[in-house]
Chains A and B, each alone.
Chain A
């Protein structure tokens, strides 16, 4: 095996079964790659030198027993959890090993990976670009073949958006599909744990492993996602796929729009029926999100009071402070009705938009991000601009529905062979009904079978 690290999870499991290489070889191959790339791309905050298991990257907002878990914040720089998150526990039961804790925006707040207190992760397709966020390290770890797959978390797009900007597959499960126990809370009613992988099939498999209720998360539903290979590979013939007109208007970069439209055309070729749908409250989603999100954050982060975790609150970054202040304000007596209560109503309307749309379609497709990866530093001084990067992803979190990001091309439709400087990955977002991950995975899988985008790798040879 010449290129162990380029294999998908499914391929790796098969190769191990066929004894094409050992787990030790597998681990050392990945560790070698990390050795070469980590300092350059700033992917991992901590690397574990295992000799066995399937090496996976775990976002540093996910609790790992006896392994430092910082949530990308200095205030937790000394924190070593005494317990594993449920999702991690379930991966370990499947023979997965933790190869490292991946970098991320501080407490999962941001859209570019730049809010990490440990410095930004770089986009492997172009080191001067952001990788997206907040699961920045997880997306880059997978895109640069530094792990077989990774776990991320998605509160407003934090799995899908970096997956899109880095050209890998990212799955945000339905709220309640995967236990949140051990996921360091940002926004409790939006947070989800999900996989970032090299293929759609891999994403299905990891979801199968980590999903299902447990007695530590009251909101996790008992229903487990079970991978049905026949279901996954059933094709999209006759499926009704909706294009929300609100996702193709002003603000969407033209070159991204072109790539997305081409991808949808492919689905049509595969036999899907494409229809226009409307999500009329989309325009209010961002505003509602940025009331509810800071409100919960202000409460969830109250425990970092500078007493218990060994570091002063002065170490907390600007974006986190901003949200704590915004949230404290909108929950204050006298403001509740105008802010929190009203935003909660908008959330219900957004949810109803999806319910209505899903009466006539099986899945909804559109862009993940309005643009491709932007320059590091470009938006750090303009929080509003940064918030707008999540415009197409936050609605799924407000509604609690599943969303998948699948690589569907490059900014100007150029392949890596041309290696144009501005040739950056674009992700197709596929949204599904609550608890219907199967359909969106089926759509993603069918698309992957007739395209090659997910096999494209960034040219990192010059760095090795």
Chain B
């Protein structure tokens, strides 16, 4: 019996939180609004209406590309993706295909693996269908909302990598401030391409199954796991797996066929004649680069390396940009970063209603357990000297910087409740005797 391994790629759609829609001036904030009130001739696809590009959306798309290490195409094109669906008023989606805005980037996962990004491109969302009994209602408030699609290479080896990748993207969107990336509201949508091959085989499998319309990280993992097992079982039985699109049935905990290969669309892409070529000049790009903030995984790495904060704590602090900014504001007040980190995390500080200064004050108050008795400090220092004869020897040989190690040991014994300067002079006196 052969061993099989999954080959998986991910497509992520994210709705941008721009004020207006991609190609018209309607408000893009459609969630929970009265149906068909955020519409105009353009996003309703009325005869004669034309698209006009939202520059903010393009900038946001470029920011995502830059943060993922993509090359930004100096020239790119919009194309029409032609297909019929009642939620698509023009009969085509204005998207990008042959000439996307951002190409070839990557994202590093927690486990150190690199996921290659094939493309990040700009497109528009469709309207929303609601099926009520025998009738279908169409709400075009969402029609034309800016949408960015991020496509990976088939680099995922297991579903935990998929989850990690998707969560990192979600963090990224929020850090960049380009999207709320709320899965439940449909701001962020996942599609996975899954196939399996015998371990050792280099070529990609000849088929792929697309998992579509999955609206939570948990369901994506469950559907992915199910699909990997289903495909391996089928291959072991010698069956051929067909290229198809499948959805996830949460009640039955299984995937099901949504569309077979025969029903696959020929989208008849061609360059959107209503829009000029998109040109990004270097000056524009330089400015945009300066707006990319330190990213969450960069922050947590820095917290660990420079501030000596535990990895788990660093990740908690960096996860949300507001929390990270709050934390960073409390630094540089002479209070130990680790103490601040512990305090914020353990006390579950409500950063919305707390000023960073308050945290410093509270921590300084705690410090009033300071030992100022010289006798007591001398006692502890002597004990430390006794316990560390090797350090004493090094010190006496002239390498006096080793005294810091002894200071550290005293501080540890006093749980930090001593003045480091005082401890140092006591230790120096004791050692030169």
Chain A neighbourhood of B82, CB < 8 A: 298-299, 302, 331
* Shortest distance from the beta carbon of B294 to any chain A beta carbon, whole Å: 36
Q: Of the candidates A218, A296, A308, which one forms a contact with B53 in the assembled complex, judged by CB atoms under 8 Å apart?
A: A218
Residues of A304-346 whose CB lies within 8 A of B: 305, 307-308, 328, 331-333, 336, 340
* Shortest distance from the beta carbon of B143 to any chain A beta carbon, whole Å: 12
Interface locus among B87-95, B183-191, B311-319, B421-429: B87-95
Interface residue tally for chain A (C-beta within 8 Å): 41
Chain A neighbourhood of B266, CB < 8 A: 332-333
Contact: B52 with A81, CB < 8 Å?
Answer: no
Contact: A295 with B47, CB < 8 Å?
Answer: no
Among B91, B92, B273, residue most surrounded by chain A Cβ atoms (within 10 Å): B273
Contact flags B76-107 to A (C-beta < 8 A → 1, else 0): 00001010101001111000000000000000
* Shortest distance from the beta carbon of B275 to any chain A beta carbon, whole Å: 5
Q: How would you classify the secondary structure of chain B's contact residues: helix, strand, loop or mixed?
A: loop
- Residue A177 lies at the interface, judged by CB distance under 8 Å to chain B: no
A219 to B271, CA, bound (A): 14
Residues of B38-89 whose CB lies within 8 A of A: 41-42, 45-53, 80, 82, 84, 86, 89
Interface residue tally for chain B (C-beta within 8 Å): 27
Interface locus among A39-47, A113-121, A181-189, A242-250: A181-189
Q: Of the candidates A218, A331, A340, which one forms a contact with B51 in the assembled complex, judged by CB atoms under 8 Å apart?
A: A218
Contact: B46 with A81, CB < 8 Å?
Answer: yes
* Shortest distance from the beta carbon of A57 to any chain B beta carbon, whole Å: 17
Chain A neighbourhood of B50, CB < 8 A: 180-181, 185, 216-218
* Shortest distance from the beta carbon of B91 to any chain A beta carbon, whole Å: 2
Contact: B273 with A302, CB < 8 Å?
Answer: no
Residues of A181-203 whose CB lies within 8 A of B: 181-185, 187-189
- Residue A71 lies at the interface, judged by CB distance under 8 Å to chain B: yes
* Shortest distance from the beta carbon of B56 to any chain A beta carbon, whole Å: 15
- Residue A82 lies at the interface, judged by CB distance under 8 Å to chain B: yes
Residue of A nearest to B268 (CB): A331
* Shortest distance from the beta carbon of B9 to any chain A beta carbon, whole Å: 21
A333 to B269, CA, bound (A): 9
Chain A neighbourhood of B268, CB < 8 A: 298-299, 328, 331-333
Contact: B92 with A299, CB < 8 Å?
Answer: yes
- Residue A303 lies at the interface, judged by CB distance under 8 Å to chain B: yes
Contact: A303 with B45, CB < 8 Å?
Answer: yes
* Shortest distance from the beta carbon of B155 to any chain A beta carbon, whole Å: 27
A383 to B36, CA, bound (A): 42
Contact: B276 with A303, CB < 8 Å?
Answer: no
Chain A neighbourhood of B91, CB < 8 A: 299, 301-303, 305
Chain B neighbourhood of A189, CB < 8 A: 273
Residue of B nearest to A70 (CB): B47
Q: Of the candidates B53, B84, B86, B274, which one forms a contact with A302 in the assembled complex, judged by CB atoms under 8 Å apart?
A: B84
Q: Which residues of B contact A (CB under 8 A)?
A: 41-42, 45-53, 80, 82, 84, 86, 89-92, 266, 268-270, 273-276
Given A180-B48, A218-B52, 16 further pairs, Cβ under 8 A: A82-B41, A85-B48, A184-B47, A184-B48, A185-B48, A185-B50, A189-B273, A219-B274, A295-B270, A298-B82, A302-B84, A302-B92, A303-B45, A303-B47, A305-B86, A333-B266
